[in-house]
Structure 1
Amino acid sequence: TLRKYPSVPNLERMCTKEYVIPETDVTIDKGTLVMIPTYALHHDPEYFPDPEKFDPDRFSKENKNSFPQYTYLPFGEGPRICIGMRFGLMQVKVALATLLSKYEFSICEKSSVPLILAPVSPLTTAKGGIWLKISPRDS
């Protein structure tokens, strides 16, 4: 899900030294603010075939090397990687396990399928929200 809908669709980084883009005459000067289009990378069919398909197997041990390093950046990368990454992942696992053990979830008719993203938002959000029907599981 973080590939299809990254919480931050773009990352900004400051170029720390002059850099020439390989096989071009383009130079990025030191101090230049560089925008990294996370959403675009995550939806590029060159790196992720059939990018609109939700396929958790893309990240299995067998497939994790099928796309180049730094094309999947849900938490950023390098010295400025999100410090809450491990904590956030653990919280999500615990919350999901708890919720899925106690409730059944289904898509409500108010939700658009396929999902339509809000066109103007600094974060990846669904236009009109995501509506779910939640029912307690039978004990």
Structure 2
Amino acid sequence: MNALHAILAASLMAVAVFACDIEMRLTTQTWYDTYVQVTWFNETKSDVYEFHEDGKTLKLRMKGLICNMKPTIVEVFKECPTTGVKPYARSSTFLEGLGFMEYVILSDGLSIGTRTGVLCSWGDCGAARG
């Protein structure tokens, strides 16, 4: 029975280490309309989210196994993204962990404001503030 418990414990630890459950908060600090689209680590794209005023926050959840194999990409546009429309801000980051992070959408860019419980590498990992 002890061997079975050891195998079960090892399996649970492996899932905990190689799984992600990250709450991604997107907060605007800009006075004009912006549009955001996320390309997740599994190469699927989110819906296009619209922000029409300063101070709005959108919460998204990223869940999966081995999320850090490909980057998570956040792109910000000044107009609704269609063919030929290029983002004015972009962040590409390899993420893993169990926690939350905040992207701050600025008039001239995008930054990671806060992250807790999220491992970040090979990209825009930001700096904690506050």
Q: Which has the higher strand share?
A: 2
TM-score (norm 2): 0.30
TM-score (norm 1): 0.29
Q: Which has the higher helix share?
A: 1
